[in-house]
Amino acid sequence: MLLLAAGPLCAPALATDLGIASIYQSAPAPVANWTGAYTGFSGGNAWGSAVVADDPAVNTHARPFDLGGTTKTVTSGYNLQNGNIVFGYEGDSFVTNRRGGFDFPGNASFNEQVKERWLSTFRGRVGFGQDNWLVYATGGAVLGASMVSGPSGLSSDQLWHLGWAAGGGVEVKLTRDWIAKVEYLYVGLQDKSYLTPAPSVPSNQRVLQDDHILRFGVNYKLPWGILDSFFKQH
């Protein structure tokens, strides 16, 4: 009788030892998944400098001046996550109103202006994801277009520039599909020759530009489940 009476008293302890109570524990919080395709928009400020140098056959003077303005960017890319490491590719195109200029010494009516019209970047990314946060570094190639114009815009020349970009940023998931970001990029563009007039005789002007870009934006993760599944399996 004593053994039978003890049985019900021991049942809770046996249940605990057998791990039955663990069934009722809350499930762990889901891990943020960065894998997938996305598109987005960002805007910000750009600043930097340009150097206009005359053809050495005519003049060796170089005239540096500041360029400043704003940017508006459309972005697309793809992330692939392995543990906490996130690899990706990102391409973007942005219009910019960066501009600056100078007056020639001794002839204030004669001036030149440099305008940066747009840039596109093609970059790889690698970052570290923790919870809803991603910190990353990025770098790659750049293609851009700039214009140099003479007095009152009477003469101008527009050329394409190749270059490189490097920087980094921070992203945070607002929801499962919406992501906010802040990013810094340094852009260096190759120097090219522009044919614009000089105070006395026409000369070949060489222009060298660099950019510092700080932008804020949002990305939307595209619902491409089939593509996501393919990358997860491979």
Check which CATH number belongs to the domain holding 169 and give it.
2.40.160.20
Report whether 151 contacts 107 (CB < 8 A): no
Cα distance from N-terminal residue to C-terminal residue, the chain:
64
Rounded CA gap, 186 and 188, in Å?
A: 7
- For the cut 60, the answer to whether the pLDDT of residue 200 exceeds it is no
In a domain, 143, yes or no: yes
> What SS3 class is residue 59?
coil
In a domain, 211, yes or no: yes
Local confidence band at 220 (pLDDT 50, 70, 90 cut-offs): very high
Q: Give residue 201's identity as a one-letter amino acid code.
A: V
The two most distant CA atoms of the chain are separated, in Å, by 120
In a domain, 192, yes or no: yes
Nearest to 100 by CA among 70, 71, 69, 66: 66
pLDDT tens, residue by residue, 91-109? 999 888 777 666 655 555 5
129 versus 145: which is more confidently predicted?
129
In a domain, 3, yes or no: no
Rounded CA gap, 18 and 182, in Å?
A: 50
Angle of CA points 132, 137, 138, to nearest 5°: 120
pLDDT of residue 43: 93
Inter-CA distances, 81 with 72, 129, 148, 157, Å: 28, 9, 44, 45
- For the cut 90, the answer to whether the pLDDT of residue 124 exceeds it is yes
Rounded CA gap, 208 and 64, in Å?
A: 9
In a domain, 11, yes or no: no
Q: Give residue 174's identity as a one-letter amino acid code.
A: L
In this structure, of 129-138, 149-158, 168-177, 191-200, the range with the lowest mean pLDDT score is 191-200
Q: What is the mean pLDDT of residues 35-53?
A: 86
Question: E strands along 132-233, which residues?
Answer: 133-149, 156-173, 178-189, 192-196, 203-221
In a domain, 49, yes or no: yes
In a domain, 1, yes or no: no
Local confidence band at 15 (pLDDT 50, 70, 90 cut-offs): very low
- For the cut 70, the answer to whether the pLDDT of residue 28 exceeds it is no
Domain count, the chain: 1
Q: What is the mean pLDDT of residues 9-14?
A: 48
- Residue range of the domain that includes 67: 33-233
pLDDT of residue 95: 85
Q: Tell me the average pLDDT of the chain.
A: 76
In a domain, 12, yes or no: no
| Kind plus residue range of the DSSP H or E element containing 232 | helix 225-233
